[in-house]
């Protein structure tokens, strides 16, 4: 009989095998600088926070900035406050034999990927509020940041998938919260 523990153990094995495959067949010295730079672009969500703040300055892009910042807040609460501490998954470089870490050790737990969550949260909010070409650029950047976490060996593939799911939800939630906030502000303005 197949149990939940058996399924989880098998997924964990596949996660590790995928990371070792990336290390063996996809990592190349000439690409390392690029993937390290991209992964650091997602550190602390700073890139996305700054982008959201910049978008606040123009009245035309202000809704996009508000939506992105709210999405980042929702994503951080779900990922960093709740899930990382509840799941408490150890980083792959601590567990997967032979996996070489390419950047500094991370100080928090592995599941879900915070870089991926923040990137997809902001990008999904922005894809709903910016012109299509800019939304597409944001989504591509979010995807590249997510892949970088596998390349440098700090997350399992399932961590990245979990971060994407949280990020997509947070992006939608940030967009909805922005709409509600704008509606309330419009009602207040009309009543004055």
Catalytic position from the list 12, 28, 40, 115: 115
Distance (Å) of CA 19 to CA 24, 89, 90:
9, 16, 15
| Known active-site residue 155 | yes
What's the chain's Rg over C-alpha atoms? 18
CA separation for the pair 119, 175 (Å, rounded): 15
Give the integer Cα–Cα distance in Å for 96 and 148: 18
Judge whether 40 counts as a catalytic residue.
no
Residue recorded with tokens 């919260």 = 177
Cβ atoms within 10 Å, residue 80: 17
CA–CA distance, 131 with 16 (Å, rounded to integer): 39
DSSP state of 78: I
Catalytic hit among 12, 28, 40, 155? 155
Residues catalogued as catalytic: 115, 155
């Amino acid at each position: 009989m197949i149990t939940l523990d058996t399924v989880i153990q098998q997924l964990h094995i596949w996660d590790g095998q995928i990371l070792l495959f990336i290390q063996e067949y996809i990592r190349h010295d000439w690409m390392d600088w690029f993937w390290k730079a991209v992964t650091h672009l997602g550190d602390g969500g700073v890139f996305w926070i700054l982008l959201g703040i910049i978008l606040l300055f123009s009245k035309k892009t202000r809704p996009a900035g508000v939506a992105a910042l709210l999405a980042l807040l929702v994503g951080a609460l779900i990922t960093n406050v709740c899930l990382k501490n509840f799941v408490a998954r150890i980083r792959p470089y601590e567990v997967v034999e032979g996996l070489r870490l390419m950047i500094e050790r991370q100080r928090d737990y592995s599941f879900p990927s915070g870089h991926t969550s923040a990137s997809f949260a902001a990008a999904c909010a922005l894809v709903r509020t910016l012109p299509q070409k800019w939304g597409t650029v944001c989504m591509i950047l979010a995807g590249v940041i997510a892949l970088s976490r596998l390349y440098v060996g700090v997350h399992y593939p399932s961590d990245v998938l979990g971060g994407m799911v949280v990020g997509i939800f947070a992006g939608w939630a940030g967009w909805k919260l922005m709409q509600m906030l704008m509606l309330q502000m419009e009602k207040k303005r009309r009543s004055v």
